[in-house]
Amino acid sequence: MAMRPRLSAAQFGVLQSLLDHGPVNGTEVLLPPAMDGSRRVKLECHLLNAVTLSKLESLGLVWVYRDVHERPKDATGRPGNPRRKITISIRDDGIKALSAQSAGGDAERDRATAQPPRAPAGSPQGSRGAPTKDSQ
């Protein structure tokens, strides 16, 4: 079985939010072409950005439903940037990756936040481990 890459904090947060609150709606906006001809996509969504979405989608952890492109007009009648509505939901692989990371992440977090043992209150080393003036 292939090993899944570790999720970043942003990816983990998105997956956890999708698991807790269900599918999320957003809007993809196709921005004007750059000098090299490539087009940038801006994501209007309160939960994540376009880079995080594309990474989660490429890993197969989320499913994205994309509606048809629309080209809305502004108040003066000029056409705006093409946009389309999207719906993002978590897949079964996303739930598995989330549970695998959260199960493995607890042990790592406990090791990272572990503090050295403290000396007893009556010992000459005090609470910080360094000898105190009274103990010398």
- Cα 102 from Cα 12, distance rounded (Å): 9
Identify any residues that bridge with 43 across adjacent strands, giving them in sequence order. 28
- Look at residues 61, 101, 105, 68 and name the one whose alpha carbon lies nearest to residue 85: 68
What does pLDDT average to over the chain? 77
105 pLDDT more than 50: yes
What value does the CA radius of gyration of the chain take, rounded to a whole number of Å? Answer: 25
pLDDT in tens, 68-90: 888 888 788 888 888 889 999 99
Specify the pLDDT at position 126: 47
- Cα 100 from Cα 108, distance rounded (Å): 13
Specify the pLDDT at position 96: 92
- Cα 103 from Cα 56, distance rounded (Å): 20
pLDDT in tens, 13-39: 999 999 999 899 988 888 877 777 777
